Every structure is written in C-alpha cells, then in structure tokens.
Amino acid sequence: MLNRRITLSILLIVLIVLAAYGTEYLAKNRGLHTATMITIQSNNKTAALFGVDVLRQLDAGGPGLFAVLAAAGIDRFSKVEVKGIKNNTVYQINIDEINKELNLRFTDRGTVNLCNNKANKAILVEDVNEINAVN
C-alpha cells in the first residue's frame, strides 16, 4: 500500500513537471509567432527574449533601439537587422544611423513597431519579432 502511494506520488510529480515545461514551450512559441515576444540576437545567436511587458519597463513611451540592445547585453555591433512578423524583408540600420529617433512603439495589439519619431512616427517595421545585432 505504501509503495503504491509513493509510486503514484512520483508519477504525479513527473506529470506536473512535464505539463509545466509543455505550457512554457507553447506560450513561448505562441508569443514568438504573434510578435508579443521579441528575439534579440547577437550575430544570429539568441541573446535574450523580451516580452512587450519588459519593453514597457524599459520605457513606457517606447524604448529606443540602443536601450533594448543594451538591456540584452549587446554593446558591440556594426549594424542591426530588424524583422517583422508579416513582412519577411529585413530592415538594416548601420550603427551610425541609429539615433534617439528610432524607437519601438507599442500597438493596441500588444506588439511593437520600429518607428522613426523624426519622420512623424513613420513605421519602419511593423510587428517586430526579431532584432539581430551584427558585427
């Protein structure tokens, strides 16, 4: 009787752990495919995954591109490639073109757009899901 309880308890714990990992995996993938989660990369290697809530903590009005890269621990790069979820084209920005006017602006859908504030908040990349800093 005692062995049966121990076996069932261990089985229950294993099932709970598997369910937790499965839930985390599904939530992460859903976030990446809906652009509510942004992959920050350094030379095509993942440095961080930021949710929109993390970006709001950096700056409630929309963080600058330098601030996002710095928060991911990336400080050396020569250009940045930004991809959106809908458009497969890559928007490339050289380091000397990055300024305080390039911000990630929050949308009503829970995503962010890369915008140029100087050009009347022109949207450069809609629904950003990947930022890659390249040396």
The pLDDT assigned to 55 comes to 93
**pTM of whole model > 0.85?**
no
- Residues of the chain under the 70 pLDDT cut: 31-35, 120-121
Using CA atoms, how far apart are residues 92 and 7, in angstroms rounded to an integer? 56
- CA-CA-CA-CA torsion sign (122, 125, 126, 132): negative
The pLDDT assigned to 32 comes to 62
Using CA atoms, how far apart are residues 77 and 107, in angstroms rounded to an integer? 28
The pLDDT assigned to 35 comes to 63
Using CA atoms, how far apart are residues 53 and 132, in angstroms rounded to an integer? 20
Task: Give SS3 for 125.
Answer: strand
